[in-house]
Chains A and B, each alone.
Chain A
């Protein structure tokens, strides 16, 4: 189908975006990569009067190391994450995850800020943000505020971003030699939305795990950290632990049935993913 009529503006400064948001409120939508917004417009699931195209706002671009954080501008496209040596070095979980995000033609346009702001429950990057303990930087007219990923995703397609705010960047703690990361998802076709997915991050201390995060997506309305990960503290990352976690993870999740899979199947697949992803991390 074709979208409803709308007006289109392409500001080059954030202040212009704030002007437009203040003037048009709910009638306006921000257009970043457009790889989720455009389908909803084409299917007429959404019919804003105005699209604010932020693709040419330089303040939202760029990747840089700042202190102990990798700062990733909201307009960074998936393809840039995929091929960035800085990302591979400092946030290798994103490098692993990004090739599961849709298909090359979509990754050439889609942005990390758009994915995080939309907060699709089956999307990879929100779960990665949780597993990494990332911080989302929100910019409003009067300044910026930082929101940890574990409080950013509020409910289905609902985030802590205010109506008059723009997601400016995401900050990821730099990976150290004590960190291990794993990623896996089960989808019906490569690049499709996952039935269930898992982003995992382990901080090691000597031979044992100091902290493990298991961030599941495709489970419920928002990506979730499984409390089963707490069982890993102080234990080595070995086959025994993987068995324990495989058995424990289902009870910590409360999946909802959807077109992709039933709740019971999702619990089973979550356990399968724990085996595969942590198995990879042991190597």
Chain B
């Protein structure tokens, strides 16, 4: 038996204190110990992007970071992003454009698209594709997802150059 680690972090603005097993990764901790199941677990080796979570303002693979490493950080999940309203236009565009079918990849897609737009991304389709290249979608063929992000980039005043 290994020694549990005490961690203290902020998740979606709320203070969380917990004891974690060292081997628990961040997304499993968020799903099973905190009970926020919007972040999904797909490949568990950093390829699919379903577990994308924001840590200290930057998206990460939730399966490639230990909960123990999140000690002292500020974590935002899809629940927090959704409640903040910061991605409301993206979510509406995803619905309007049919940018999801099963929805498994959608939380990760929204967090990635949010970082793309917040870091100055434009409506340029190639740039959008490059930025979301680390998020798999097995339903849509990506076309509709790129459409939705492109539309929001234009709405936010950042047309393709």
Q: Can you list, as one digit per residue, whether each of A30-59 has a CB less than 8 Å from chain B (1) or not (0)?
A: 010011001101110000000101010000
Does A42 contact B131, Cβ atoms closer than 8 Å? Answer: no
- Distance in Å from the Cβ of A33 to the closest Cβ of chain B? 8
B59, B71, B129, B135: the one contacting A108 at CB < 8 Å is B59
Interface residue tally for chain A (C-beta within 8 Å): 32
- What residues of B have a CB within 8 angstroms of the CB of A6 in the complex? 2, 22-23
Interface size on B, residues (CB 8 A): 34
CB pair A34–B2 under 8 Å, yes or no, is no
Asked if B45 and A42 make an inter-chain contact with CB atoms under 8 angstroms apart, the answer reads yes
* Nearest chain B CB to A261 CB, angstrom units: 19
CB-CB under 8 A for A8 and B68, given A104-B115, A190-B129, A191-B134: yes
Q: Do A106 and B3 contact each other (CB < 8 Å), given the known contacts A8-B22, A35-B64?
A: no
**Any A CB within 8 A of the CB of B155:** no
Contacts of A42 in B (CB 8 A): 25, 44-45, 63
Q: Which residues of A contact B2 (CB under 8 A)?
A: 5-8
Once bound together, how far apart are the Cα atoms of A189 and B135, in whole Å?
A: 11
**Whole-angstrom distance between the alpha carbons of A104 and B61 in the complex?**
10
Q: Which of B5, B61, B68, B69 contacts A106 (CB 8 A)?
A: B61
Contact with B along A3-24 (1 / 0, CB 8 A): 1111110100000000000000
Bound CA span A42–B5, Å: 19
Whether the pair B23, A189 counts as a contact (CB closer than 8 A) is no
Give the Cβ gap from A210 to chain B, nearest Cβ, in Å.
35
Q: Is B112 an interface residue (CB 8 A)?
A: yes
Is B23 touching A4 in the complex (CB atoms < 8 A)? yes
- Take A5-B2, A38-B46 as given contacts and tell me if A191 and B64 are in contact as well, using a CB distance cutoff of 8 Å: no
CB contact list, B19-58 vs A, under 8 A:
21-23, 25, 28, 44-46, 49, 52, 58
The yes or no answer to B102 lying at the interface (CB within 8 A) is: no
Of the candidates B58, B68, B71, B134, the one whose C-beta lies within 8 Å of that of A103 is B134
Q: Which of A2, A55, A99, A190 contacts B69 (CB 8 A)?
A: A55
Interface residues of A (CB under 8 A from B): 1-8, 10, 31, 34-35, 38-39, 41-43, 51, 53, 55, 79, 99, 102-106, 108-109, 189-191
